[in-house]
Each structure stands twice: as structure tokens, then as C-alpha cells.
Amino acid sequence: MHHLSIDIETFSIVPLDKGGLYKYATDESFEVLLIAWSFDGMPVEIVDLARGEELPDRLRIALLDSNTVKHAYNASFEWFCLSQYFKFKDPEDWLPQWHCTMLHGLYCGYTKGLAAMGEALGLPQDKKKMGIGTSLIRTFCVPCKPTRSNGNRTRIYPDMEPQKWELFKEYCIRDVVTEMTIENKLSAFPVPDSEQKLWELDQIINARGVRIDTELVQGALDVHKNVTDNLRSEASELTGLDNPNSVSQLITWYEEETGETLENLRKDTVKDLLGDDSSKDIVKRVLKIRQELGKTSVKKYEAMTKSVCADGRIRGLLQFYGANRTGRWAGRLVQVQNLPRNYIETLSYARELVKSRDADMIKLVYGSVPDTLSQLIRTAFIPSEGNVFLVADFSAIEARVISWLAGETWRQEVFATHGKIYEASASQMFGVPIEKIKKGNPEYALRSKGKVAELALGYQGGSGALIQMGALAMGLSEDELPEIVQRWRNSNKRIVDLWYSVENAAIECIRTGKPQHVRNMITFRREYDRGTDQDFLTVQLPSQRKLFYTRPTLTTNKWGNDSIAYQGMNQKTKKFTTLETYGGKLTENIIQAIARDCLAVTMTRLESSGYKIVFHVHDECIIDAPKGAALEDACAIMGQPISWAPGLLLRADGFRSEFYKKD
């Protein structure tokens, strides 16, 4: 096999970050400006297409040769853009020829971003992405605002800035050098073929896209604007403020009106103030308006309008290996991973009211217009003409996986029979027969304790985890939380043992360099490559995929015990730095990674069986299918045993719908 490393620079009037790759590259304004490339590690060359240079025959042959592997950083971009350049009717046909260096870095535990990854790998300065790159991209790759000083131009061409253009070509060349250096640095730790195949499937699903109900989206935006304008106008009239949406102005008005000090206007604060019966009517109304305005944002509707393609579909909703600690997917563009839930029973009627812009009827029937619009966001995703959505979701996947991995027998029996894990957990915790924990009995109150314990405590969480999961909002007192923690742990001793087994195995592996096994299903290894100075703690999962923890070390925690440290992305600072972890957190990574691998297997099975996935959310697949397609068959496929997880009891439930929703 030959290898071609490649980087391209392009132009389109569609903003790439808002419109997404597929809308960007299919717009009639799209063009490829530069192609920098290296064949089999030879010095990098560049083709200046913007200035009329022809594609060299050897580059054209290499690009179209199925025996030449194409490497690019974020290869999705090069693959699809060059598919448009060559006018391929079936871009998927040459997809297996592409390998993504960004995926390689994410798989090995590094951060995304070519410059950031180069820095994390410790590449020398001349191998890093040039800092001026962002400015050059802004100059040549996106439209410019026409002004008198620039001659009312809407775009900068190479001949207008010849010196910058030559610098841009050097920047493009350096990107290829950096990409090749990263690939060489990680070559001893290749991406498994199974993950390469899954990456290819992800590109196909993203390119397939999902249809958007553009009528609903525009109706929602119009209704929101009308209602918001009216509410703000009313608030301005009541308060006399020019901008009643300003927090500082509104706090000042409130303090002058009531004589009371107010620290903030957060949602919980406004809710508490509205519960005060002594407040003046005018104050209550202004606070109610504030609450209404804060109930929803139309940003997701706006994101849909910016990213929908000419055929009414949005493409590129998912980022493969977006959560590189576990390998799970992340959302892009509309961020489908965190859509608001819906509780309205008459969603179809609410959708019609929004399409007809009938804000008064929405308010009359549903009370809050902003809240109604928020609940309808999911329903903007609709199946293809004449089709229906089949929505199939794993049932309690993480609870099933941790029960299986830990060997918690009573939980396995629950999943093999009735599946009521919340009731069963409460039964174990409080010694009450599960038959009594049902609606109408006083013992049913224990179910909420079992539920919050199940959701919060599986990964070594304590009272704080219960509070974060909403224990206090459920009516539990802070005083009773420690007892719930202890009761749950006493009922799940094998899971507790799993936390400490995982932590001890990781510590021993880092200390001695010897492989450590947990329940003969998980293997910790210290893997080091002398030639590239790459040092990892790896966790081999039952699927044989590995999780990578970069540059592992042992440190001392605040209790004076050994603590596990590694290099990773700090989610708050967004810096690649030293992080600490522990048994419960490692267990969480492992369980979520196994659950992700289960989803990967079932997605492949569904596609092989002819089911077309248009997107997926956490452990749920949304399938665009003919109306006669069998939901039961799709759920049965998701519940099939997995060869590398003997004894893992999977189950999927689902529903059919004319639009996406939370059933």
C-alpha cells in the first residue's frame, strides 16, 4: 500500500462552523484553492488551483488509486470536499481509502485540533501549525465585508494579497508536515480496523442527514419573535427601563421598587421570588416575564436554519470519537445530544399551532409559549417523505453493563426478568418485598430513593452526587442522604469491589509496568514506544478496543494515598494538562465505553439489515424507514447478544412516530 498525506484549503460563502461541512461544500460558491500533499513520505508539494495550476497526474492517480491510503487531519473534510471537486456521485465508494489522523490522536487520548495536538505531543516549534493560519483563512477562505476602503469587494483573491498568499501556501504545506509527524508519532498504536469501519459508517450516516420541518422551524422563530417583543415591551412599560432584559438594570429597578437587596436573577432566584406572596403585583408580573423569557432559547431553531442544506436535510450532526475518554459521539451544529425533553401530550396539535403562528391559542392551551417552543425542538426532525421514524433505545444500558461486569447477581436476575431496577434497588436497600413497592402502597415512596441512588451512586458517588442528581428536589432531606449511600453500597458490594479492583489494578500497572486483569474482562497495560517516546496506560475492553491515558504517573492524594494522574484535556480550562482520577471515575469511563461499543455493534447490525440511521442520541437510534418497516425487528436487533460480552443482557424499547420526540 502507498500513502498520501494531504491538506486542502477551500472557499465557500457558507460559514463552516454554522453551516457545517455538507452545506459548505455543496454550495455553488465552493471551490478548492490549494492542495498540499506528500506521497510515501516524500517532501511536501503544493498545487495552486486558485491561480490556475493543473492537478499533477501523479497526484490525480494517487487520489483515485484504491491501493493508496489517504491520510488527512479531520479526513471527513478532505474526503467530502474532494468528492465534490471530482463530482463523485457516490462519495462513499472511496471512503475506505481515507484514514483520519485526528481520529488517531483522539483514540490515543490526545485532544482535537491540529495545533493543540501537536503541542500536546511535544512537537518542535517548526512542526507546529503556524499561529497566523487563522488570519490567513479569514483572508482567503471566507467572504469579506464590502467597504469603501477595499473597493466594495466581497472576497480577497490571491493576486490582491500576493505576499499573504505565498505565506498561506507555506501554512498549507506545514499542515501536511504536522499531520505526517503526528501519524508517525502514533504509528506504534494504530486505530483498530473495527474503529476505522465504524468511522466510515459514521461518515455515511452524517452524509445521509435528517430531514427538517422547515415550516415548523420558521413558525417557531416567528412566534418567538412576536411573543418576545410583546413581553419585552410590557416589561419596559412596567419598569420604565430602556432594556428590561439587562440584569443590572432590572436588579436596580427591583431594589428601588421593593427596598430589598437582590444578588442575582438566576432561574432559581426568580422562582423563589415568585413564591413570595408578599411581593407587589407589578414586581410579580415583571419577574414572571423574566421567567417566561428565560424558559427557552431559539438558538437550536436558528442553528437549523443555518445548517439545513438545499434539499431540506441537515448533515453532520455527529462527531465521531467526540468524547475521547470513552469514544462516545458528540453533537455538532444543532447539538442533538442535549435537546430539551417534551412533556406535551398533544404534540401534533402544538406543532400545527406553531406552523399557523397562532401564539394566542398556544398560550391558551399550553400556558407558556416559550416553554412550548422549547418542547417542540425535537419534533423539527422529521422522516423522509412517505417514511416514518423508528426510535429504538437501549433500556438501562449502563446499569446492565455495570451489573454484568461486576457480577452483581441479583441485578442480573432483575434484568433477566421484570427489569424494574429502581424498585428492585429500593427493595434491596430497605429490605422491603418488591411486590409492595407499587403505586397505591406507602412503600412506593421508596422507589424514588432507589431511582436517585441508581442514577447517582454507580461510580463511587456520595451525598454530593445524589444532590446533583436532584435528590433534594425529589423531596429527600440532606440528612438522610448518607444513609441512602450506605444502603446502596451494602446492596451492591460487587460493584463497590469493582471500583477498588479497577483502581488497584491501574496503580499496580503504573507502578510495576506489568499487565493487570480485572474479572478476566478488563486488562490494564503500561505501553511505551521508545522510538516515539509515547507512554500510555491502556485499558483493553471486552471488545478489544483500548482506552488510552497519556503519560501516566502516580501522585499522592489529599488523604496521603496513591493517586492516578495522566495528561488530558481539562474541561474547564480547555488546556491539555495533568489530571487525576480514581477507581469510580475509571469505572465510569469503562462502563460508558462498553455501552458505546454495544451501540456501535448494534448500529452496524441495523445498517446491515437495511435500517437507515439518520442520527443517534446517547443510546438511542433514530431510523428513517418505510411505513411498513417493523419496529419490533429493529428492537430485536438491538437486543441481540454480543459475542464479546457473553451474559450481558441487552434490551431495547421503541416507538414509531411522524416526528422525533421523547416518548
One DSSP character per residue, 400-443 reads HHHHHHHT-HHHHHHHHTT--HHHHHHHHHHT--GGG-STTSGG
| pLDDT attached to residue 295 | 66
CATH H-level superfamily of 2-187: Ribonuclease H-like superfamily/Ribonuclease H (3.30.420.10)
Mean pLDDT score across all residues of the chain: 93
| pLDDT attached to residue 289 | 86
Give the pLDDT confidence of 43-93 residue by residue, as tens digits: 999 999 999 999 999 999 999 999 999 999 999 999 999 999 999 999 999
Give the pLDDT confidence of 378-433 residue by residue, as tens digits: 999 999 999 999 999 999 999 999 999 999 999 999 999 999 999 999 999 999 99
Spatial distance between the Cα atoms of 481 and 467, rounded to a whole number of angstroms = 9
User: Is residue 36 within 8 Å of residue 6, measured between CB atoms?
Assistant: yes
| pLDDT attached to residue 134 | 86
* Residue type present at position 339: L
Q: Which candidate, 232, 286, 234, places its Cα nearest to that of 257?
A: 286
What is the full DSSP assignment across 563-581? EEEEEEE-TTT--EEEEEE
Q: Which helix (H) or strand (E) holds 387?
A: strand 387-394
| pLDDT attached to residue 524 | 98
Taking 70 as the pLDDT cut, the residues of the chain under it are 125-131, 278, 295-296
Give the pLDDT confidence of 284-311 residue by residue, as tens digits: 888 888 888 776 678 999 999 999 999 9
Other C-beta atoms within 10 Å of 264: how many?
10
| pLDDT attached to residue 241 | 87
User: Is residue 175 within 8 Å of residue 73, measured between CB atoms?
Assistant: yes
Question: What Rg do the C-alpha atoms of the chain give, in angstroms?
Answer: 28
Burial pattern 485-507, b for ≥16 Cβ within 10 A else e, equals bebbbebbebbbebbebbbebbb
The half-sphere exposure of 170 on its side-chain side, counting CA atoms within 13 A, is 12
The half-sphere exposure of 272 on its side-chain side, counting CA atoms within 13 A, is 8
Spatial distance between the Cα atoms of 295 and 316, rounded to a whole number of angstroms = 28
User: Is residue 426 within 8 Å of residue 442, measured between CB atoms?
Assistant: no
User: Is residue 141 within 8 Å of residue 33, measured between CB atoms?
Assistant: yes
Specify burial of residue 12 (Cβ count, 10 A radius: 0-12, 13-18, 19+): buried
| HEC string for 64-127 | HCCCEEEEECCHHHHHHHHHHHCCCCCHHHHHHHEEEHHHHHHHCCCCCCHHHHHHHCCCCHHH
Spatial distance between the Cα atoms of 426 and 214, rounded to a whole number of angstroms = 46
| pLDDT attached to residue 255 | 85
| pLDDT attached to residue 77 | 98
Spatial distance between the Cα atoms of 652 and 618, rounded to a whole number of angstroms = 13
Q: Cell numbers of 196, please?
A: 476505522
User: Is residue 44 within 8 Å of residue 176, measured between CB atoms?
Assistant: yes
| pLDDT attached to residue 557 | 83
Spatial distance between the Cα atoms of 593 and 367, rounded to a whole number of angstroms = 42
CA dihedral 79→80→84→85, nearest 10 degrees, is: -30
Single pTM value for the model: 0.91
Q: Which residues of the chain does CATH 3.30.420.10 include?
A: 2-187
